[in-house]
Amino acid sequence: MVSAVPVRPGLCAVVDLEVGEEDTAIALRSGEVPVLATPRILALVEEASVRALDGALDDGVSTVGMRVQLEHISPTPIGGVVRAEAHLEKVEGRRLLFHVSAKDERGLVAAGKVTRVVVDVERFMEKTR
């Protein structure tokens, strides 16, 4: 059982990605244009939210994704560099609410919120058996 969550608002992290062919809507089968795919942006902002917690949780404790609200605002071409940021805004019991965004050299690419839940890994994995 996870007791008190040992994190406080303010934690943040940044993840950079140079867009390659494998990151496009075509490659991820989420569209038919050779630009950064929405699912890849989602993975990038989730990676940033996980990295924001590096070293903050006890052994045997992790987080899992629960909810994502993401608006994909602008396309990024192959070769463009995207920087994803995650900022822990609120801790509500075991729920961690992050504000996330992604930007490229032209400005805002995506913005939204990611909610992750703190779990005891062993207990969580028992639910899969």
Q: Which of 105, 124, 122 is nearest to 65 (CA)?
A: 124
- 39, exposed or middle or buried, with CB in 10 Å at 0-12, 13-18, 19+? middle
pLDDT category at 1 given cuts 50, 70, 90 is low
Which backbone phi and psi does 45 adopt, to 5 degrees?
-70, -30
Domains of the chain: 12-126 (3.10.129.10)
Q: What is the pLDDT of residues 44-84, one digit of tens each?
A: 999 999 999 999 999 999 999 999 999 999 999 999 999 99
Structural Rg of the chain based on CA atoms: 16
The CA distance from 106 to 24, in Å, is 18
Question: Which range is least confidently modeled, 4-8, 88-92, 121-125?
Answer: 4-8
pTM of the model: 0.92
What pLDDT shows up at residue 7?
A: 87
The answer on pLDDT for 4 being more than 90 is no
